[in-house]
Amino acid sequence: MVRPESWSPDPAATAGEPGTGGSEEGALSPTTGLGVLHLFCRAGARLDVPAVLSAEEEARKAGGQVVAVSMLGHKADVGLVVLGPDLWRLRRFQSAVHAAGLDVASSYVSLTEVSEYAAGVPDELKQARLFPQLPPEGKRAFSFYPMSKRRGDAQNWYSLPYDARRELMMSHGRIGRTFHGRVLQVVTGSTGLDDWEWGVTLFAVTPSDLKECVYQMRFDEASARYAEFGPFYAGIVADLVTVLESVGPGR
């Protein structure tokens, strides 16, 4: 699948790719799609706001996207979802915001992907899954959670034949589509990259939409029998300046 022009790494970034004769610290990119880094951070007493904004600008110049979230609850102050074609640039972004006073309390590493059950899905929709444009307009309520499929003795997703798994996922998707326009779901793959198999990022019009969507989908057989869920992170999507201002006065 062809990567859109806007996501092509610049020549300097590809200097170290195989066959180019560059350094071993050149670009490292997925075969298709984008690298995705979720950073859930605590704001230190000496938060350098201009340095965080500079890190965001550098990420965008390199063809990346940065979604800023003011987190609710005790798990983190600031959430940053960073997408881009080069994992080295994601790493540099992480280093830059850490140096600026955002201490990473939790993180998640994954890649955008097209599900193996998406045969017959129009190419336009596949491209949207590989190269999502975030954050979606009008959806400020945010939730993230990791998940895996069960591999227990009684319920083992991976022992089911492909056709059975595909039918379960199609049913699961039908429920999700009833929230079209209210909730955007971005599912990224993390098998071999992080502790769970997928990361699920939800953007919604209201927090009630998030709650209702996850609640309804848990009744579906694919979730009720076979899903395991990790911790949930919730917050409010805004521009980075607003998010940084929300973590406390005088920072």
Supply the residues annotated as catalytic: 145
Q: Which parts of the chain fold into alpha helices (H)?
A: 49-61, 87-99, 123-130, 162-177, 207-218, 221-224, 240-246
Distance CA 97, CA 53 (A): 9
CA distances from 3 to 7, 132, 190, 208, 228 (A): 7, 12, 20, 35, 32
Distance CA 63, CA 69 (A): 20
3-state secondary structure 175-216: HHHCCCCCEEEEEEECCCCCCCCEEEEEEECCHHHHHHHHHH
CA distances from 13 to 23, 88, 90, 97, 219 (A): 10, 9, 12, 20, 45
Of 86, 84, 104, nearest to 94 by C-alpha is 104
96 and 66 Cβ atoms separated by less than 8 Å: no
Distance CA 220, CA 145 (A): 18
